[in-house]
Each structure stands twice: as C-alpha cells, then as structure tokens.
Structure 1
Amino acid sequence: MDLKNSTHHIDRVVQPPQEVAKNRLSLTTTIEAIRYLANQGMTFRGDDESHDFSNRGNFIELVKAFARMNEEVEKVVLQNAPLNAQYISHKIQKEILNIYANKVRKMIRDEIGEDEKFCILVDEALDDSKKEQMTIIIRFVSCDGHIQERFFDIVSVHDTNSSTLKSDICKVFSKHSLLVSNMHSQGYDGASNMRGEWSGLQALFLNDCPYAYYIHCFAYRFQLALNVAAKEVGLVWRFFSMLNNIVNFVGASAKRHSKLKLTRQVEIEDLLAAGRLGIGKGANQIRCLQRPRTTRWGSHFSSIKSLIDLFGATKTLLKDINHNGPTSQFRGEAECIKVSMLSFDFVFALNLLDKTMRFTDFLCQELQRKSLWTL
C-alpha cells in the first residue's frame, strides 16, 4: 500500500489540505505585514493591543487592512483564525524578523565574497531600556568597483571594554565566515576604549591584522575641532548660548511654536505681495527654529539659517509676549531675550557665522562623501 498517496496518510489525517491552505494564507499575511513594516522602518506594537481598542498598533491594523481587501484573508486572520494558529504573537513576529535579518546578512556576505577585503565601522548606543548596544557596519568594494556600505548587525554587550567589544565582533565575523585578516580598515569614534593606542579596540585588532588601520571619521574630527575652537572665542560662545536660549524659549510651548509659524506665514504673504520674494518649487516654506547639537557642527549652521529666516517672526513673537504675557516673570524673560537678540554683537555674530559656516559646512559634507573613502 502506498502510504504517501493514501488519503489516510498521517499528515492528512491530522491536518486536512483545507486547513493547511488556511494556515499558509494566515502565515503569509503575517509575513507580508512584517516585511512591509520592516522595510519602512515602522513600529510594530501599539500602546494597547487588546481586542476592544480602536487602534491596536501598525502590525495588527495592517493585517486588518489586508483582511478588508480580501475575503479569503478575512476568513483566516485575527478573530477568525484558530487560537493556536493566529501567527500574530510578539514571539512569532520576532522569529520572522530574525529570518529576514539572516537572509539579508547572507546576501551581504555573498556580496562581499570569500577573499575580498573590507573595513568595519562600529559605534555604541543605548536602546530604550538603557542597554548597551554595538552596531556593526561593513564597507567594501563591490564587483563593479563601487564602494558599498551595509548595516550588518547590532549586538547587545554587557560592557564597553575594548576586549569585550573585540570578542563580540569576532563572534559575528566567525558566524558569517568573515576573516579578521581580510579587514583593512577600522572606523570608530574618539572614545578612549575605541581609539586607545595600546589597549583600545583598534590596537587589539591591529595586533591580529597589521593592515587594519584605524581611521577616526574626518568629518567628525573636523566638527570637534570647530566646536573646540568656537568655545575659545568669547563672542561665538555667547552667541551660541543665546541662540540656545531663543530656541528653547520659543520651542518650549506648542502655542508659541504655532504662533511663530503663523507669524512667519503672514510675513511671507506680505513679502510676496510686495514682490520681494521669488516663487518656485520648495521656496518660502515655513520652517521651525532648529536646536544646535554639541557634536554635530552641521546642526549649528542649520540653526543659524533657521533663525535668519525666522528673525522677523521671532522678534514679533517676543514683542507680543513682552506686552501680553501671562506673568511679569514671563514678560521679563521675553524682553530680555528680545533685547539680546537685537544687540549689535548678536546680529554681527549671526551674519558672520552664517557666511563663515557656509564654507565649513561644504567641507564637512564633502568629507562625508563615499567617493573620498578608500580601503
């Protein structure tokens, strides 16, 4: 008797073909929803995923959307699916994501090849639960001669000692058959555990591979140099301190933020009516004040440009708060900021740094171009 073709075969007795088809359709719906969300970099979970909640998060709502578009899908997902085969649990989502991640890493590994040279970029960061994580990015020259940069893995680490980081990186290499001897460059930040000459991560790798030269990101070094140099000039230091105060004061309230945009809109309409502004795609957009960040010198230039664009609207807003603010302390703070913003030193520094930083920003952007990197 041919059991394989028998209708009484154990697989067909336990699970009829109709059930197999339903389970596959349900699982396929889950896989497609996960692939879409992962590709778009969107969150999966919602604040409340209970059945009676109106918005159960991106994943559940996307499955619902698939069900609304296809009656066959609707019959096999969520409440219509068997309790043991809904394929929507967080564990199932993570397992499918892990399968996708492994497939992507395999494609990157195949793209690198067996004996091709590569370099690594490593950085540390804290996740939302305050756990240390290490990101590993691989750069290499593709078969067509172009430099490729691929995000390869993210690894949780129990500490950030250089020996621990090296051990975890080597485990990733070993898992994907990448040889340390083929590593010809290392790129890290300026932390001592990374760039240390004797016991830093770069030194440990150099002991194993003498060609794995350490490169501190030129753009980042340039930004740090500008940052340190700026702090040595009193006028510049006071300017950025005042710029922070303006951005923080205006941006601290959604009401003030909205009023600033409305004031700017009226200002643009008046300038357009007077013929003092050009028109075109992307022109005269209503932007917000941007906060400069310490280690990102490019953000300082963006902050300066945003204040220049919104200088008149900001002055009008501060003047209105000075006259109509709810408390005397609030009105006094607005007046103090307005007086400082209209002072000669601040306006002079604003225009001087706008002209100067156009050159430094251009150089910073050029230093980040992929074509300038060599292996």
Structure 2
Amino acid sequence: MGAGADPHGGEWGPRPSTDLRKKFFLKGKRSFKRKGPEDDSKNLSGDLENFPSDPADRKRILEYHANERDEVRRKYLMKGPCQPRGHKFPPKMIGNKLRRFNSSWFDQYGDWLEYNVKKDKAFCLLCYLFRDFTENKAGSDAFLTKGFDSWNKTERLHNHVGAVNSFHNSALKRADNLMKKGQSICHAFYKQEDAAKNEYKIRLNASIDTSRYLLRQGLPFRGHDESVDSTNKGNFLELVKYTAEQNELVMVSHEIQTEIVHYFAEEIIESVIQEIDHGVFCLLVDESADVSDKEQMAVVFRFVDKHGIVKESFIGLVHVKETSSLSLKIMNMLRGQGYEASNMKGEFKGLRALILKENKSAYYVHCFAHQLQLVVIAIAKKKLEVGNFFDMIAVLLNVVGASCKRKDMVREDHRKRIEEKTKKTEIKTGKGLNQELSFQRPGKTRWGSHYKTLLRLVDLFPSVIQVLEYVESDGSDSTKRCQANGLLKYFHTFDFVFYLQLMLLLLGLTNTLSKALQRKDLDILNAMSLVKSTKQQLYKLRNNGWESFINKVYSFCENYKTELLVMEDEFIDSRKPRTKSNKTIMHHYKVECFYIVLDMQIQEFNDHFDEVNTELLGCIESLSPKDSFHEFDQLKIMRLSEFYPEAFSYVKRVSLEHQLRIYIDNIREDKRFSNLKNLGDLARVMVETKKHLSHPLVYRLLKLVLTLPVATAIVERCFSEIVKTVLRNRMSDQFLNDCVVCFVEKELLEKVTNEVVMKKFQNMKPRKIIL
C-alpha cells in the first residue's frame, strides 16, 4: 500500500459497487466514525478553504477525523508553506547583535520552511503534516513543536533536513507518496485502460469548458437552485452534452462543479499575487447586500505590475464581520486604503482604524466617485425645489417604467415620431442614430445614472406625456391615475423645465469627471487635476452662464407648450400666495435658484475634495512628467519619501537624494519622456526604457504614489446582479465568491488552461481514474 492510501477507508471519490467495497471500505469507515461533539468530519468539508495559513493557528493533524486527514494534508501541500515574504521581520537581540529572520531562506528552503508571524519563529510544514507517524522521535524538534528562532545559527536549517533517513526526509517521502495517487491500493480495484482514460478525460474537459463558459457569462449552473442538494442539472448538463457530444455523462454533480469553479478562482488569485510579486499595493473595499440581503464586502487590490501599468484586481468577497481578521492578513505591504461605507471610516472603529493602527503608511483616500455623487446629487437635493424635482422623477419611473405595457407604449410612440421626422428630413439617419430608447432607473452607486435618466426624459418627453394622459384617463389602478394626473400638472410648469435644464447642465459638467474616475489606471494626481478643472467650469457657469441657460429653458417651453413666465412680474410663492414677496420672478430664479444651487455645488466641491489636498498631494505633484517635468522639486520629493519610512530608511533617503540629481537630467534629455501626461505613463515608459533599473529608488517612490486609490468603481461592479440573481439565491458563500472572481476577472479566466484545472482536480482528491 502506498503512503498516500488511507487504510481506514478515507474518501476516494467514486467506488465500485462490489461486495469487496462493502466489506472493506464501508466497514472501515463505520468503525472509525466518531460520535458526539468532537466529530469534526461533518464540518470539515466546508472548512477546507479556510484552513489557517499561520502555523500558530493550526490544530494538530490527529485532531481531524481519521477519514479526513489525508484530505487535510493534500490541501496544505497544495497551498504550500506559510511564507510572508513582505513581512517586516522584527529584530531580536542575540548575544551582542540584533538578528532577524532572513526572507532569503524561503528561496533556499522554500518547499518546507514556514514563518509564524505571531510567535516570530520558524517551523517545518512537512514535519507538521506527518508528525503523528513517529510521535516520540520528533517531539523535541524545534521546527515541529517549539519553533526555531536562533537566527544566528543558520546551520540548523540545513541540519534539520538531515541525512537520507532523517525524520524530515521521511516526511518528504510520505508527502510525495500521498500526492502519487496511483500507488494507492484503492486504485488497484480499477482496471484503467487507455480507452477508459480517454473517455474520462473527454468528460472532464467538457465539464471544465462548460464551467468556463457559464462563469464568463455570469450564468447559473443549475437554474433556479444552486444549493448543494439540488437535483436540477440545468444549464450545466445541457452544455456538457453539447460540448462533449456524449449521450451519457456522469460528471455533472454539484460537488464537481464547485471544485472546478474553485480551481479556476484559485488560479486567478494566484496570478494576481504573482503580478504583485511581493510589492506594495492598495486595498479597495466596499460593502453591499446581495440579492438575498446578506451583506458582503468586495475586496480589490490596486498595484503596479512588472510592466509599470496600474491595475485593479478583484480577489474575493468577505463577510462584513471578518474585517478584523482581514486587516491582519494584508498589513505587510499595504500602502493605501480606499472605501466609502460609513462603517469602515470610523476613527476608532472599523477597517480604517484597524489598518492604521498596524500600518501608519497605509494612507486613506475617500473614494472620489462617491464624493462626486454626494456633491452633485445629495447636496443638490438640499434645495427644496430640486429635491421635489427628483421625487417627481422617481414617481414617473414608477408609473411609466414599472409596467412593461407602458414602457412598450413609450417606445412605440417614440419610434413613430422618429419615422415622421425622418420622412420630413428633420433628423439625419445613419448607423448608430435614432436607436430605440427606454428609461434607466438611477441608482445611488451607479455614477452618472441620474444624468442618463434625465437625458432619456428629454428625448422621450412627448411620448411620456402621451402615456401619462392614457394612464390618467384609461388606467385600471386609481393610485396610478392620481399619480399620472399630478405628473401631468407638474410637467407643464415652468419650475419643472427650469430644474430639468439646471440639473442636466450640472450633471453634464460632472459627467466627464464621473467617467474618468471609473478608470482603473487613473492616478490621484490626474484625478485632482480633473476635479480642479470641473470646479473652474462651475465658476464660469455661475459668472457667465445665466443667459445661455435661460434661453434653453425658454426653448424647451416653446417646443412642448409648457408654462412661460414673464420675468419682470412679481414672484408669488405658492406656499404663501397672499404674502407679497417684493421681488421679481427673474430675481427668484436667477439668484435664489440658479446662483444658490451653483454656490452649494462649488462649496461642497471644496469641502469634499479638500481631504486629499494635503502636503502629501503637494509632494506627489513634484513627480509629474507634464511640461517636461516642470513641477519637479527635489526637496518636496525628499519630503514625500519621509511619508514611507518602511520603504525609505535614512540610508536609502540619502541615496535617493543623490539619485534624483542624475534622474532629472537623464529623463529630460530622453525624447521618449517628452510627451508624457501623467504618473502612470511615466511608470510604464520607465519600465519600457529600463530606467527603473537605473533609478530604482525613484521608481519605488513612483509605485508607492500610484497605489494610492482614486475610486472604488471596480468594487461596485463586483456586486453585479448578473452574478447572483433571484434564480441563484441558494448558492453558498464560497461558490458565490468563486463565481464573482471568475466573472469580474474575465481576462485572467481566459488565461487559465484546462490542463492546469485538470491537474488540480486530479491532485486534490483521489479520483477513480488517474490521468
């Protein structure tokens, strides 16, 4: 029997229906089944993906059920030893010198050496996994029980490996045998011919191809029920049959599906970690409730890859209660934080405080896009008339947009109007013009959605009026008839037209900024420049924009025959009609509405975006490549390095000062750097021209700056309703996480080959057929 076999009947995948199986496997499994609260076998399957990596948090292998131990060992061997390469290893006084763990030992003893962050000690993964075979012999080994921390005695690492017959090498052989499933006696019961292997490989490939397709499209595997005990094969079975062209297929169980999906997600996460390459990164987090009203946190890493390109990669979902454990896992190389949720921004509580407590260089930047949303929408609604305007838009969407019949009526009427205008040559025709339109309901976190909603309302306005008149006269719901009547009265008032045009103007000015903030490669310096430009446009509109704005209002009123007011008449407040206002209509709309709303916007822009307008941002500006590095200031760049003491010690700051003098002359003379616009371009060209090797400390500082977050747009997109819909409301947290990872990171999903997934699928558990 090979060392990987479980003589007590551990799980070996599908088993032959024979008397021998009944006598040997099932009997053995029953004889070793525990009873009572110490039975871990029931709960282990759900915890396989949550095994602690740090040796300090692990329990002994003997504490697991006998039938599950080999599966636990395989999982740890697949994950590899715990090696926090980016960790700042603390010094320890040994003799008269300070000593510490050397990360280069991971390269020399990478297959077994582990580091315990909590105890600051080294352990051996292989000896931990197989300590129960020779309990008495290995009990005093420092790498197994107490931990090794004599950093001045590096020869102990070599001595631990020992001779050929040492305990460590015996454990290594057992690990090798465990992963060689062909040596198991279980597989001797199966006569594996080449034809059977080929058929098995075809079925497995079909399952992998089908999983890849469903993940890429965000489609459910089993239709309405994604639970473990579901008998519905759904989309998966149909696609497997089509892919493999087989009539009878057996690899359609939910367990196989979840395993394949998990291996895809694992490979994606591993590729992201390889791209980071133990470098610095930023944490982007946002909280949202999924379709089953369970709060989840989406976690995204922002980093600069080996080509100097800024990337944001989604790495998974975390339950909101796990923020404290999450912060401990990402402390070492974290250099930035970006999120908006209020429960994460507290000074003494929440994720922000937890991270800053451990890492002072993890600078927090409030999501720019959320700030923009607060400025443009939330603040504008403080004006009573603007708030009333958006409330009426919400009612309109409920009356017209909530019914398929009424939406079809709007589209059909709009189509007829387009055809009439086309015949009269009032509008142009061509590719992409005059497309079918429908309402889009604005969302709190879908930036720019309010602007699109108002644009659609202007395009569809005559069709909307006609449908509202139909609902008012012929509607079957009395509530909807009353709402339609109120909307018709409001839409024919001057107030409606005025605030419609005003909000279109404001949202149009900020729409460019909103789109730019959702780009993954946008750096914080460029973002602040766009914010500054947007504020300047608001100032220009306030000072010189009234005439052109009021002309648009008059034009809309004339085209659609809505109420027109004489601006020189006295203004009458509808709330106090008998009280004289002693002011004209012009004064009310120009001063108390137009100017007031714009002043509020400008003030809020200054208040919300002032948070990042600090000394740090001023120092970052000195790295800008615009106008041949016109803003370059050596003193400010040296000050910027002081914000990151972990990356720039005193000695490295001295070296940076000397390096900057050569860097600026060398860069300015190179024509390849003459037309760069932002910091992202600078980092990319430095890598392309190998300048990052000539000026490594400058490039290190540049990477730190580029990791600072701008917006959490990609985090919001991770909660797309395409991934988890009402039809999939019973899927487990792990399966949901894996599906979202694969759906969001489609480009990385395509790079994962079938061979890699097949290898993981075969190695993780004993299978009926060995390829």
- Give the conservation status (yes or no) of the 8 Å contact 2:346–2:352: yes
**Partner Cα distance (1:127, 1:331) in 2:** 34
- Give the conservation status (yes or no) of the 8 Å contact 1:47–1:56: no
**Partner Cα distance (2:361, 2:341) in 1:** 20
- Give the conservation status (yes or no) of the 8 Å contact 1:181–1:208: no
1:95 and 2:259 are equivalent in the alignment = yes
Shift in alpha-carbon separation, 1:129–1:315, aligned structure 2, 3 A? closer
Number of the residue aligned with 1:303: 453
Number of the residue aligned with 1:339: 489
1:26 and 2:203 are equivalent in the alignment = yes
Find the residue that maps to 2:215 and give its secondary structure.
helix
Once structures 1 and 2 are overlaid, which stretch shifts more, 124-133 or 26-35?
124-133
Find the residue that maps to 1:99 and give its secondary structure.
helix
Q: What per-residue deviation string (whole Å, max 9, x for no partner) do you get for residues 114-167 of structure 1?
A: 2x110011122333443332221101011111101101122235x3xxxx4031
Instruction: Identify the match of residue 165 of structure 1 among 312, 323, 347.
Output: 323
Shift in alpha-carbon separation, 1:106–1:278, aligned structure 2, 3 A? same
Number of the residue aligned with 1:223: 373
Q: What per-residue deviation string (whole Å, max 9, x for no partner) do you get for residues 292-339 of structure 1?
A: 223445211111001001001101111233333346665443232212
1:43 Cα offset (Å)? 1.7
User: Which amino acid counterpart does residue 472 of structure 2 have in structure 1?
Assistant: N
Shift in alpha-carbon separation, 1:110–1:270, aligned structure 2, 3 A? same
Number of the residue aligned with 1:42: 219
1:133 and 2:310 are equivalent in the alignment = no
1:168 Cα offset (Å)? 2.9
TM-score by length of 2: 0.41
**Partner Cα distance (2:333, 2:267) in 1:** 22
- Give the conservation status (yes or no) of the 8 Å contact 1:34–1:93: yes
Shift in alpha-carbon separation, 1:203–1:107, aligned structure 2, 3 A? same
**Partner Cα distance (2:512, 2:186) in 1:** 70
Q: What per-residue deviation string (whole Å, max 9, x for no partner) do you get for residues 56-80 of structure 1?
A: 532122112224xx4xxx15xxxx2
Once structures 1 and 2 are overlaid, which stretch shifts more, 30-39 or 360-369?
360-369
Number of the residue aligned with 2:502: 352
Structure 1 segment 143-182 matched on structure 2, within 5 A: 143-157=306-320, 159=321, 164-171=322-329, 173=330, 180-182=331-333
Instruction: Identify the match of residue 202 of structure 1 among 341, 352, 356.
Output: 352
Number of the residue aligned with 1:186: 337
**Partner Cα distance (2:348, 2:511) in 1:** 34
Number of the residue aligned with 1:6: none
**Partner Cα distance (1:39, 1:330) in 2:** 41
Number of the residue aligned with 1:57: 234
Number of the residue aligned with 1:322: 472
1:266 Cα offset (Å)? 0.5
**Partner Cα distance (2:364, 2:186) in 1:** 60
**Partner Cα distance (1:37, 1:90) in 2:** 14
- Give the conservation status (yes or no) of the 8 Å contact 1:227–1:297: no
Number of the residue aligned with 1:177: none
1:281 Cα offset (Å)? 2.2
Number of the residue aligned with 1:66: 243
**Partner Cα distance (2:477, 2:274) in 1:** 66
Find the residue that maps to 1:137 and give its secondary structure.
strand
Once structures 1 and 2 are overlaid, which stretch shifts more, 198-207 or 302-311?
198-207
Shift in alpha-carbon separation, 1:204–1:62, aligned structure 2, 3 A? same
Q: What per-residue deviation string (whole Å, max 9, x for no partner) do you get for residues 197-246 of structure 1?
A: 22331121112111100111111112112233212212211111111111
Find the residue that maps to 2:207 and give its secondary structure.
helix
**Partner Cα distance (1:100, 1:113) in 2:** 20
Instruction: Identify the match of residue 251 of structure 1 among 401, 407, 410.
Output: 401
Number of the residue aligned with 1:118: 281
Find the residue that maps to 1:371 and give its secondary structure.
coil
Structure 1 segment 285-296 matched on structure 2, within 5 A: 285-296=435-446
**Partner Cα distance (2:186, 2:339) in 1:** 57
Q: What per-residue deviation string (whole Å, max 9, x for no partner) do you get for residues 34-58 of structure 1?
A: 1121122222111379xxxxx9532
Q: Indicate the structure (1 or 2) with the bigger Cα radius of gyration.
A: 2
**Partner Cα distance (2:478, 2:363) in 1:** 60
**Partner Cα distance (1:40, 1:358) in 2:** 32
Once structures 1 and 2 are overlaid, which stretch shifts more, 359-368 or 126-135?
126-135
1:88 Cα offset (Å)? 0.8
For these two proteins, the number of residue pairs brought into alignment is 335
1:283 Cα offset (Å)? 1.4
**Partner Cα distance (1:326, 1:127) in 2:** 34
Seq. identity, %:
37
Runs of 5+ in structure 2 lacking a partner? Answer: 1-184, 227-231, 525-705, 708-771
Find the residue that maps to 2:431 and give its secondary structure.
coil
TM-score by length of 1: 0.82
**Partner Cα distance (1:239, 1:285) in 2:** 27
- Give the conservation status (yes or no) of the 8 Å contact 2:516–2:522: no
User: Which amino acid counterpart does residue 66 of structure 1 have in structure 2?
Assistant: T
